[in-house]
Structure 1
């Protein structure tokens, strides 16, 4: 679970991203001081380094788009996917049966 310090930095970073301002250590610290939220001194720097060169707006937008489209892409296969899975299962069963028979042919089993 996220700590209070982490959440405060996330919200400060989102405020900066919403205003289309570069996310830096100083700007995160300024927002946190203005909001009268005290955090460990390393958190703003950590978030600034992690988000350096990252477009937070695109990141948030892409997360919501990919989460919604992933199941749709998987379901688009229709009836072809189940048929392929059945064939794979049949092949696996055949291989298992062959390996069991080969052990019996040699004259020894697992518990002999």
Structure 2
């Protein structure tokens, strides 16, 4: 990540920690104080992306991760279906890999 990206991210965290609304002007002011020049468009995009979000809550839930969406009509509990989802994805990836090798004419026993 470039120093400009980090500077705007840190500026947003500083504002969120102090309970101040995250705006493009405030992000530019903080990064300028740190001697990092940020184009106003990038600060505006970050401010727009974080608008209405609780940045502290986002940080505290960063490792929690959500489960995969459950397919309609799947049996069992949603938790069980979410636990099986990574296994199914892995199988699909393996099948796609095998199919792609066959398409090119390469095989293990050719």
Task: Give TM-score scaled by structure 1 length.
Answer: 0.55
Structure 2: runs of 5+ lacking an equivalent: 68-79, 88-110
Q: Which protein has the bigger helix share? A: 1
Find runs of 4+ consecutive structure 1 residues off by over 2 angstroms.
Answer: none
Q: Map Cα deviations across residues 43-76 of structure 1 (whole Å, 9 max, x no partner).
A: 1101100000000000001113x15xx8xxxxxx
Structure 1: runs of 5+ lacking an equivalent: 71-76, 86-112
Q: How far, CA to CA, are the matches of 1:3 and 1:46 in structure 2?
A: 16
Task: Give TM-score scaled by structure 2 length.
Answer: 0.56
Pairwise CA RMSD: 2.4
Looking at both structures, which has the greater relative contact order when contacts are Cα pairs under 8 Å and sequence separation is at least 6? 1
Are 2:24 and 2:40, in contact at CA under 8 Å, matched by a contact in 1?
Answer: no
CA radius of gyration, larger in? 1
